[in-house]
Chain A
Amino acid sequence: MYKKICSKYEPTKDNLIHILHEIQDTHPQHYISDEAVEEVSKYLNLPTNHIYGVLTFYSMYSTTPRGKNIIRLCESPPCYIKGSENILRKLKVLLGVETGETSKDGLFTLELSACLGVCGNAPVMMINEDVYGDLTEEKVEEIIEKYRRAQ
């Protein structure tokens, strides 16, 4: 599977980021495993330690398995001022996880993120590719419920 993804790209170093993204996006657990890194290492002729360095440098990559839906709550100052701490507390309670963990049912992983670029609607979070702004504790509850029902 990883070989197939690699083969879509020219085997040059500058494709590393793209290959890693596609591997992560197509993995049901949204992460990049040891085996994937070893395969990419062979394909690009890059040592695994270099790839691991890149993987851990960018917060968008994960080296551990994650849930079906990835929640990224903004932790930048504007969102903080508008109460992102309360949202975070609410999310932790709703999902039964700490930051960085995945809920028991495998549905959600809770992460913090740098600025998402919609400070006008602070506090903001993303779930997968969708942005949710002007969050309140009630609104968060509804949103999570929506995703649970969609399951």
Chain B
Amino acid sequence: MAKTVNVWIDGNQLEVPDTMTIIEAADKHGFYIPRLCYHPDLPPTANCGVCVVDLAGSPTPKRACCTPVAEGMKITTNTKKLRSYRKTLVEMILSNHEVVCPTCVANNKCELQTLASNLGVDMEALPSILIKKPADDTSLSIIRDTNKCIACGRCITVCNEVQQVYALTMSERGIDSHPDTAFAHGMANSPCVNCGQCTVYCPTGALRERSEIDEVWDAILDPEKHVIVQEAPSIRVSLGEEFGMPLGSVTPKKMYAALRKIGFDSVMDTNFTADLTILEEGTECVAKLKAGDKRPLITSCSPGWIKFMETYYPDLADCVSTAKSPMSMFGVLSKTYYAQEQNIDPAKIVSVAIMPCTAKKFEARRPELRDSGYQDTDYVLTTRELLRMIKEAGIDFANLKEEEADEGMSFYTGAGTIFGATGGVMEAAIRSAYFLVTGEELENLDIDAVRGLEGVKEATIEVPGFGPLKVAVAHGLGNARKVMDRVREGLNTTGESPWHFIEIMACPGGCVGGGGQPYGNDIASRARRGLALYEEDRNLPVRKSHHNPEVTRIYERFLGEPNSPLAQKLLHTHYFERSVNTGQVVREVTHKH
């Protein structure tokens, strides 16, 4: 139990738990201490020194981010000296930083830029000592520009402690220290799974997605091309905030209108293939349950999770659903089903996906995802990239007149939309799997046990004719490890998994917290966006994937039935084992039916 202690911040007496640091106590009670490397979601790295405060009785200032509070502590947050320290620190950081703000992706979102501006730093105070180095552009998803890096260490913390991917480390020491991959081989030759959480927590523009905006504009402006676009569930709850709307505004119809204004020829929706995924994966799950298979079924939507599994748990690859992700199902269908229905040459179709995700860029380029005869998904843009396109097009998003999506692959149910929040795929699957097993409809659709931001969630659902269905949900790859270790242990000892069905999402919070989401993507805003998806679900007329009329139609006109031979060919995939050192493919571990 935490004890309560009395501390004084700038003369104000406060009671705070003794487990807090000074900066946490100050934040909780509304006292602002300038900071740069500290982020409330992450353990402190204590690298920048900007958060220094004076403590009565201490000869030197202390860093508020890593100094615990103590009984009787008297803290002064601002003095002439502290102001001068902070300014000097930021001036020193800037002297070793490539200052190209107007063209930087982080412009207006950069924590260093904001702090320098707030502190009234003199840009000319120190001459630049920056020795320019080439960026690490090996990765298909993430660019690492060391010239903008301020060595705060957040990327390393989130990579190693939260995600436990172990791609980045602090290399060298002193003034030379900088984040790097092992042997400086580059992100593409490391165990990096492209989750992009490093890009989310980077305070500057040093870590960013590999942009495909120009390629997408080129396709749109090419009259020969037919450009079709899909948007992931979480996009519709993440755009409004950039245009002054409340965080978590649900804006699917403004999103469609904006995409049409930008010039996409066909505006569809990933939520449609999310519903389709439920039928494919749900059918797979039911077949497994009916066969009495002791190995669990694990979801396959999250590309960061899939590469993580291939790297660290290839022995369990056969437990992972063979269903492609909703994005990849959409990609392949856009060049088969859609091309056929619309009578368009698939060679002329450019399939674009708007994703909250950097790992989707890697997924789109997986060589095995070409079942249409073409690269199924041509380009993936993150939410941040779409925001830039909306701004380039000069669209007044908040005041846009709402429009509907085009028909064919855009109708979605509440089950499809909650894919974007942790637990959503599980909840959507249960709603349909219950029907597939019992032939009856599930009455209570809100499965609260799998909602919320607890790292690992477990639930048992009574399914008539089957018995208790045990499920688990993990988000964030550190939590995925906890679940996968128990599955591995169970299978290796008793031969049984603790759960029948498991949902895993690479990013904390699920896709709403994805590595491609707008800057300022902290845990609190992830929670708010997740709630927005549940709110949309509640208000939609259809809330179960198997009642999606466009899904019914695609099975009638094209696919036959879930898991049919054509569905197997187009909508399912296989997995590889990857080296834990280089992330490169070692061998194929599951095979396509």
Contacts and interface: CB of A to CB of B under 8 A. Distances in A.
Nearest to B171: A56
B172 interface: yes
Interface in A35-89: 37-38, 41, 47-53, 56-57, 63
A57 B190 contact: no
Q: How large is the interface on B (under 10, 10 to 19, 20 to 34, 35 or more residues)?
A: 10 to 19
Interface stretch (B161-169, B223-231, B298-306, B511-519): B161-169
A48 B581 contact: yes
B290 interface: no
A49 B172 contact: no
Contacts of B183: 34, 37, 48, 52, 63
A53 B581 contact: no
A133 to B, nearest CB: 27
A49 B168 contact: yes
B170 interface: yes
Given A48-B580, A49-B190, A52-B182, 18 more contacts: A34-B581, A37-B183, A38-B581, A41-B581, A47-B191, A48-B166, A48-B581, A49-B169, A49-B182, A50-B160, A50-B169, A52-B180, A53-B169, A53-B171, A56-B172, A56-B173, A57-B173, A63-B183
Question: Which of A41, A49, A50, A57 gathers most chain B CB within 10 Å?
Answer: A49
A37 to B, nearest CB: 7
A49 B167 contact: yes
Nearest to A38: B581
- Report the 7 A-B pairs with minimum CB-CB distance, sorted nearest first: A47-B166, A53-B169, A49-B169, A52-B182, A48-B182, A49-B182, A56-B171
A41 B181 CA distance: 15
Interface of B: 160, 166-173, 180-183, 190-191, 580-581
Contacts of B160: 47, 49-50
B516 to A, nearest CB: 23
Contacts of B190: 49
Contacts, number: 46
A47 B163 CA distance: 13
Q: Is the interface of A mostly helix, strand, loop or mixed?
A: helix
5 contacts: A37-B182, A49-B190, A53-B169, A53-B171, A56-B173
A37 B582 CA distance: 12
Contacts of A49: 160, 166-169, 181-182, 190-191
B172 A57 contact: yes
A52 B169 contact: yes
A38 B584 CA distance: 14
Nearest to A59: B173
Question: Which of B170, B171, B172, B183 gathers most chain A CB within 10 Å?
Answer: B183
A55 to B, nearest CB: 9
A52 B173 CA distance: 12
Question: Which of A41, A48, A63 gathers most chain B CB within 10 Å?
Answer: A48
A46 to B, nearest CB: 9
Contacts of B169: 49-50, 52-53
Contacts of B191: 47, 49
A52 B171 contact: yes
Contacts of B182: 34, 37, 48-49, 51-52
Contacts of B171: 52-53, 56
Contacts of B168: 49
A52 B186 CA distance: 13
A51 to B, nearest CB: 7
B199 to A, nearest CB: 18
